[in-house]
Amino acid sequence: MSDKLNQTMTQAPESIDSRQRTGQPWNDMLPEALESMSSPRGEVRSMGSILSKASQVFILTDENIAPFWLPEVEYGLNCEKAVEIVIKPGEQHKNLQTVQRIWKTLMKHHADRNALLINLGGGVITDLGGFAASTYKRGIKFINVPTTLLAMVDAAIGGKTGIDFGGAKNQIGTFAEAEDVLVDPVFLSTLPRREILSGMAEMLKYGFIADDNLLEINIDNYQDHILRAGEIKREIVAKDPKEAGLRKILNFGHTLGHAIESHYMTTDCPLLHGEAVALGMAGALWLSVKHCGLDEQVLKDYEKKLPMLLSEAEISLTEADIEPIMGYLVHDKKNMGDKPRIVLLEAVGKPVWDVTVDYDTIKRSLEYIIINEYGKR
């Protein structure tokens, strides 16, 4: 784990459920939760020192998150005087226009190179805020406080920042590490279940590529494994920060997943990232059985989990979707050369990357998903 990337992790206080039932306001809860963040490892103290060194503190968040968590985080981190930048939620705002708004706010308040940006939110906020911070005056410090499961185990960690541009996701970006990542499951108490399931799919990915303990997660115990998932990502990124080789294993399930996600973007019921990856992993496991000798039981066990992962998604993949999805695959930036290079598994915990698979074979993995009606509700 990188020294710079401390992570604080605590369980949500048990009192939260009872407080919910008694109808006490959320803003009573977080101070307590943040107190509980003062873990024995003292990482909150390290965050305190980052904050105290800052000439000014800015907090970026979105309109969904702000009412629940903004005052509480300001209180908990003792930065009530922070300048708030609250943007509209959604991937469609992860663009240059929003970055300009952030830069302008920083300039308006005369932020110097010692200013600090706290990114409080999901992947959209951490990608966007990391990008804005890493480019303002050639880079100011930023802290990520992920509020979605997906961001806790993925987006907030690993030093990739970016915005969408020219109709394509993450086209413009930087490699820039957060000074600190503060993970606390208490934020998940307000996150819709569908978003939790999406994050769980990404956690299962770590199970497949690195640690079979993570294949045991379910809706009741996933919080116990958030820290481990983040650790796996950090270890991989530390070994290969710029994706020369090993880091590619983080794309397990993503080649097909991104194509399915892009296809669904054009419909009335877009899929969440993790849902598309859940389907993509089914295809990747099927291919792994066919081409890399993966034990078929791994695929069978995963097939039992898929309905749960997709239970909140509205999907109805049919044969007619194969061609458009294949069209996105051909344009995927990672598919250099004539044949796509993808990540497959020889066994759980034994991923292989840059496996060339021809388009016809990939198409058959899509047919497998459709024939088994995994993409149907």
Using CB under 6 A as the criterion, which residues of the chain lie in contact with ligand ADP when the complex forms?
62, 64-65, 68, 89-91, 121-125, 147-148, 150-151, 155, 187, 190-191, 195, 273
How far apart CA 161 and CA 141 sit, in angstroms, is 13
**Which residue from 211, 197, 226 is spatially nearest to 306, judged by alpha carbons?**
197
**Which member of 93, 141, 263, 273 is catalytic?**
273
Nearer to ligand ADP, 151 or 357 (CB): 151
CB of 272 to ligand ADP, least distance (A): 7
**Which member of 93, 160, 228, 305 is catalytic?**
160
Nearer to ligand ADP, 64 or 134 (CB): 64
**Which member of 6, 144, 251, 335 is catalytic?**
251
CB of 76 to ligand ADP, least distance (A): 14
Residue 308's φ and ψ, nearest 5 degrees, are -65, -45
Asked whether the beta carbons of 46 and 85 are under 8 A apart, the reply is no
- 275 catalytic, yes or no? no
CB of 217 to ligand ADP, least distance (A): 17
Residue type for position 38 = S
The pair of structure tokens assigned to 266 is 């054009």
Query: Which whole-number Å values give the CA distances from 146 to 17, 56, 154, 247, 368, in the listed order?
Result: 21, 21, 10, 21, 35
- 91 catalytic, yes or no? no
**Which residue from 72, 82, 59, 60 is spatially nearest to 24, judged by alpha carbons?**
72
- 109 catalytic, yes or no? no
- 138 catalytic, yes or no? yes
Query: Which residue has its beta carbon closest to ligand ADP?
Result: 122
Burial of 363 by CB count in 10 Å (0-12 exposed, 13-18 middle, 19+ buried)? middle
Nearer to ligand ADP, 157 or 362 (CB): 157
How far apart CA 296 and CA 279 sit, in angstroms, is 17
Nearer to ligand ADP, 187 or 252 (CB): 187
Residues noted as catalytic: 138, 160, 202, 233, 243, 247, 251, 254, 258, 273
